[in-house]
Amino acid sequence: MDRRQLLKQGTMAAAAFAFSRDLFAREVERNFIAPDIIADVIKLSSNENPHGPSPKARKAMMEMVNRSNRYPWEITTQLREKIAAKYDLTKDHITVGAGSSELLGVVSLMAALQKGNAVAPDPTFRLWMPAARNVGLPIKLVPLTESKETDLQRMKDSMDSDTKMVYICNPGNPTSNIIPANELELFIKDIAPKCIILLDEAYTEFSDEPTMAKLVNDYPNLVIAKTFSKIYGMAGARAGFALAHPTTIQKMNSLQPWANAGISSVTLAGAIASLDDQEFVTHCKKENEKAKNIFYAALNKAGMPYLQSHTSFVYFNTAPFGKDVRKLLEENNIIGCRTFEDGSTWRRLSIGTTEEMKKVAEALTA
Ligand SMILES: Cc1ncc(COP(=O)(O)O)c(C=O)c1O
């Protein structure tokens, strides 16, 4: 083989390597390959908690494996009672599912059965939307304000006599903005007499704003969806819950083939133990803030504006950076920089550990 052939082969091999690495990163991102088994890939795509599950939850889950030959009735009730105590409600105000996504699906099915439409901000958390549309619930999407806040007034204006559900995610995803509690409360009081309000509080624990749980007794149309996937670090274990008036919980349960049976006993044990581990929650919140500050400093240095985050992710504008941020991060084995608005320069990145965010910062500011 002469030198030219050798060079050509070398270039082709390099291109194939770059291509396969890119492909590999995308495969990892789509969860076809577990990222944890690849030591040098930092996965920042799905707002998972990089610290969890809590040590207490791990222990409880391992112990429960031995008892997982039994159906989980008693332990489900225990979890519902524990959640109820935390939010000053009764177990009849609580239903659980395999992740809050399951319950977002149940509530949209409940709305679809009323034959009408739903109103939701855009962009927002969209996972539940295709199934909702497929069961007959068209969704009117309402753009955020110019400063990327949920436009409550415009959402109200978009409602018509056929609107059966309004979806709000607070703090918002992908923006991580928060609607102040007093404004949200007024909105709920205004809308709840008219239709279902599905309030997704997946990230409230990362913020300093309160849950709206205290309103569920007075407003049967209000359903609050919450999850063990974020602050409790159990995304893969699949556990979520909804808080609502008991009559609404009963309606939701009637739409589940086997109500309150979605979570395995192993996961239920972990969820119960998580609720007992406030120390771990405080630790995760603090670490998230520290890691976020590292990322903010890097964004400031790189000249990229961002929204103040009330969650475990940051929404930032890559326009002034001049380079393709996603590509740059992927070249540094950091995956998950995603866009949620067609043609936009805004991107979302989940917050990892402080060590991981230092690597992000190095990649962006080198
Ligand atoms: C706003 C929001 N709601 C719900 C979910 C789904 O959570 P779960 O894992 O409980 O299904 C997510 C997951 O990213 C989310 O961001």
Give the residue whose CA is nearest to atom 2 of ligand 1.
202
Q: Which atom of ligand 1 is nearest to the CA of 203?
A: 1
Decide whether any atom of ligand 1 lies within 6 Å of the 142 Cβ.
Answer: no
Decide whether any atom of ligand 1 lies within 6 Å of the 125 Cβ.
Answer: yes
pLDDT one digit per residue (tens) for the chain, 366 residues = 444 554 455 444 444 444 445 555 555 555 555 555 556 899 999 999 999 899 999 999 999 999 999 999 999 999 999 999 999 999 999 999 999 999 999 999 999 999 999 999 999 999 999 999 999 999 999 999 999 999 999 999 999 999 999 999 999 999 999 999 999 999 999 999 999 999 999 999 999 999 999 999 999 999 999 999 999 999 999 999 999 999 999 999 999 999 999 999 999 999 999 999 999 999 999 999 999 999 999 999 999 999 999 999 999 999 999 999 999 999 999 999 999 999 999 999 999 999 999 999 999 998
Residue 307's nearest CA partner among 46, 123, 104 is 123
Distance in Å, CA 274 to ligand 1 centroid: 18
Which pLDDT value is given to residue 7? 46
Q: Which atom of ligand 1 is nearest to the CA of 238?
A: 9
Query: Do the Cβ atoms of 283 and 51 come closer than 8 Å?
Result: yes
Which pLDDT value is given to residue 29? 55
Q: What is the dihedral of CA 135, 179, 177, 311, to 10 degrees?
A: -80
Task: Kindly state the tokens that stand for 190.
Answer: 């205004």
Residue 118's nearest CA partner among 142, 143, 137, 144 is 137
Decide whether any atom of ligand 1 lies within 6 Å of the 267 Cβ.
Answer: no
Fold of the CATH domain 18-47+279-365: Aspartate Aminotransferase, domain 1 (3.90.1150)
Q: Which atom of ligand 1 is nearest to the CA of 240?
A: 10
Give the residue whose CA is nearest to atom 12 of ligand 1.
202
- Cα 135-139-141 angle, rounded to 5 deg: 160
Distance in Å, CA 322 to ligand 1 centroid: 32
Q: Cα(49)–Cα(18) distance, rounded to whole angstroms?
A: 29
Q: DSSP string of 291-350? A: HHHHHHHHHHHHT--BPPPSSSEEEEE-GGG-S-HHHHHHHTTEE--B--STT--EEEEE
| CB neighbour class for 90 (10 Å; exposed up to 12, middle 13-18, buried from 19) | middle
Q: Residues spanned by CATH 3.40.640.10 within the chain?
A: 55-277
Q: DSSP string of 23-92? A: HHHHHHHTTSS-GGGSTT-EE-SS---TT-S-HHHHHHHHHHHTTTTS--HHHHHHHHHHHHHHTT--GG
Residue 100 φ then ψ, to 5°: -70, -20
Distance in Å, CA 299 to ligand 1 centroid: 26
Q: Which atom of ligand 1 is nearest to the CA of 102?
A: 11
Q: What is the pTM of this model?
A: 0.91
Distance in Å, CA 287 to ligand 1 centroid: 20
Q: Residues spanned by CATH 3.90.1150.10 within the chain?
A: 18-47+279-365
Decide whether any atom of ligand 1 lies within 6 Å of the 48 Cβ.
Answer: no
Ligand 1 pocket, mutate which of 103, 176, 179, 230 (most atoms under 8 A from CB): 230
Q: Cα(241)–Cα(97) distance, rounded to whole angstroms?
A: 6
Distance in Å, CA 214 to ligand 1 centroid: 22
Query: Do the Cβ atoms of 225 and 103 come closer than 8 Å?
Result: yes
| CATH number among 3.40.50.720, 3.20.20.120, 3.40.50.10860, 3.40.640.10, domain 55-277 | 3.40.640.10
